[in-house]
Amino acid sequence: MMNKNILMIGILFGLVSLLIFWWLKSPLGTKAENMHISATYNEQQGYEQFVKQLPQQKWDKMNWNSPFYMNNGGLPRYIRDCEAYITVNEILVKQEEPKEEPKEEPQKEPIEKPQQEIQRKRIALTFDDGPNDKNTVQILSILQKYDVKATFFVIGLNVVKHPEIVKLAAQQGHEIASHTWSHKNLTKLTPAQMHDEIDRASNAIFEATGQYPTTYRPPYGAINANVRDEIKMKSILWNIDTMDWQHKTPAKTIENVKLHAKDGGVILMHDIHKETAEALEGVIQYLIQENYEFVTVEELYK
């Protein structure tokens, strides 16, 4: 009998030792903070290994992540009737946050590079032999309508007759230049006569506008070394001749401009002819369409 008791005690001791060994080696014997929780971790283990071991003060401080309902299944008998929702931190393996699909960057609209500013061509309208009390006034009106500035090479004798027209042209921003006093061919004059033609015209212009001219156009375009030596004022000729004085036809004046207009052009017309005044609007409209900028002779040769 005693041997049986000793045998039973040995068996019980062995079973207890096995249970203790199993307890230490199993997940149930792992401290909560060291647990590696799997997706199959059950409620019983969660409660026994984690929830039950949390100090009370930590419950108030923990930032719980997800609600976990401790239902009747698998819980110890003494809390088997618990129906409360208990918030448990990290009982289950933290689910991986769903990876965001790479967002397609919205296609950037191509940045429109500012177009380079179009280089405008420059051209100068010039009128000889005025002023004329009818045609010059009409020409000034058309120029003002299109906000175009021009250069008037006036004859001194005509300036004295119509100083108010010359003054009006200057007030509107046009350049007033000299075409000599009486339109004589300077290459056939003596030095004294040359100076007389230039000086008298300059004085007449000053009387009408309050300014002396800085440029002149020799009549007929006639100029040589002698004239250049005597007259120090800048001489201005032309490189586009409308031939308005010859054909006296508005359509031909416009056509000549269309054929010969160019950047840096100096257009020759005469404001003493009514056909020139009639052609002027068509000339301006064409040059605007062709992107020309209107300038005075002084501006062109700065």
- Determine phi and psi for 23, rounding to 5 degrees: -60, -45
For residue 300, is pLDDT > 50?
Answer: yes
| Tokens coding 84 | 């409360």
Question: Do 82 and 125 lie in a common domain?
Answer: no
Of 46, 74, 91, at which residue does a domain stop? 91
Q: Give residue-wise pLDDT tens across range 219-268.
A: 999 999 999 999 999 999 999 999 999 999 999 999 999 999 999 999 99
Tell me which residues are annotated as active site: 128, 270
Q: Which residue has the tokens 């039950």?
A: 52
Assess contact for 268 and 241: CB atoms under 8 A.
yes
| Residue 149 belongs to some domain of the structure | yes
Question: Do 145 and 231 lie in a common domain?
Answer: yes
For residue 11, is pLDDT > 80?
Answer: no
Question: Do 133 and 281 lie in a common domain?
Answer: yes
Question: Do 65 and 199 lie in a common domain?
Answer: no
pLDDT for the residue 3: 60
Assess contact for 167 and 209: CB atoms under 8 A.
yes
Q: How confident is the model at residue 94 (pLDDT cuts 50, 70, 90)?
A: very low
| Residue 113 belongs to some domain of the structure | no
Question: Do 172 and 296 lie in a common domain?
Answer: yes
Q: How confident is the model at residue 91 (pLDDT cuts 50, 70, 90)?
A: very low
- Domains in the chain, number: 2
Separation of alpha carbons 185 and 234, rounded Å: 17
The candidate with the shortest Cα–Cα distance to 236, out of 159, 151, 120, is 151
* Global model pTM greater than 0.85: no
CATH number at residue 206: 3.20.20.370
| Residue 47 belongs to some domain of the structure | yes
Question: Do 85 and 125 lie in a common domain?
Answer: no
| Residue 16 belongs to some domain of the structure | no
Residues of the domain holding 195? 121-300
| Residue 20 belongs to some domain of the structure | no
Question: Do 137 and 275 lie in a common domain?
Answer: yes
Q: Give residue-wise pLDDT tens across range 154-180.
A: 999 999 999 999 999 999 999 999 999
| Residue 106 belongs to some domain of the structure | no
| Residue 4 belongs to some domain of the structure | no
| Residue 24 belongs to some domain of the structure | no
Question: Do 81 and 230 lie in a common domain?
Answer: no
- CA angle at residue 298 from 297 to 302, to 5 degrees? 115
